[in-house]
Structure 1
Amino acid sequence: MCLDLAATLEAPDFALSLPPEGDDLNDPPPLPSHVLATLTLSEWQAALSHPR
């Protein structure tokens, strides 16, 4: 299985959506679009090429 990184950055909330089962509605997790807001495709690719 593959993840299209460019498509994920274009629509992260759609590409990375998960069912809300078990989420705490009082303190919901951040949306993927918020987490990935400052990430560029080249940065993501570089991180995958050289993981810490």
Structure 2
Amino acid sequence: MLEQQLADKTGELEERTEELNAARAADRELTRTLNQGTAGVGDAVGRRHRP
């Protein structure tokens, strides 16, 4: 009984870990895309350079 519960929880953990890794990959890709789309825009929107 405990072995089955452990196996079930291990499976759930593996599934959630895969989901988390997929979400992280999607977040990295989105961040990369957003950063590429805004490259060089900082000066145009008033970002100040500090000496």
- Report the TM-score, using the length of structure 1 for normalisation: 0.28
Name which structure has the greater RCO, CA cutoff 8 Å, separation 6+: 1
Larger proportion of helix: 2
Which protein is bigger by CA-based radius of gyration? 2
- Report the TM-score, using the length of structure 2 for normalisation: 0.28
